[in-house]
Copies of this chain bind each other. A is one copy, B any other.
Amino acid sequence: MNIGQASSHSGVSAKMIRYYESIGLMPEAGRTQAGYRVYSERDVHLLRFVRRARDLGFALEDIRMLLGLWQDDARPSAAVKEIALKHIDELTRKIAELQAMKRSLQHLAEACHGDDRPDCPILDDLGSPGSRGDEDRCH
């Protein structure tokens, strides 16, 4: 299988397959005499693993560890769960951060007429020297 086939079978772009190889996430692919990379079903399986883990938001360094555990028949499931829980915490943190931004912005946007007149609570807030205004009062 060429890299193009491996790509379409795994959902990982050829560019990324080469990159994963370069950082040691994927084993070095075999080569034809002409230098083309050659992939097996097993490689495609690995790539799909990486793609799924990426879809769940894992960083490549986490995926490196997950791949190691996946291929280790004697792994303790606790090791896997720990990585997953750490990532869940990270997701929770990011979600809360974005939600705080969204809440503040929504309050400001609701207060803004959105017409031809120049007065705008959004700019007033951004430019005010004091505190954020509604963020501390509300919720």
A114 CB to nearest chain B CB (Å): 4
Number of copies: 2
In the complex, the answer to whether A11 meets B113 with C-beta atoms within 8 Å is no
Interface size range on A against B: 35 or more
**A32-64 near B? 1/0 per residue, CB < 8 Å:** 000000000000010011001101110000000
Known: A57-B98, A81-B109, A92-B102. A52 touches B129 (CB 8 A): no
Decide yes or no whether A20 CB sits under 8 A from chain B.
no
Decide yes or no whether A31 CB sits under 8 A from chain B.
no
A68 CB to nearest chain B CB (Å): 11
Near B by CB (< 8 A), chain A positions 65-88 give 66, 69-70, 72-78, 80-82, 84-85, 87-88
Closest 4 CB pairs of A and B: A81-B114, A77-B120, A91-B102, A57-B101
Interface residues of A (CB under 8 A from B): 8-11, 45, 48-49, 52-53, 55-57, 66, 69-70, 72-78, 80-82, 84-85, 87-88, 91-92, 94-95, 98-99, 101-102, 104-106, 108-109, 112-120, 122-123, 125-127, 129, 132-135, 137
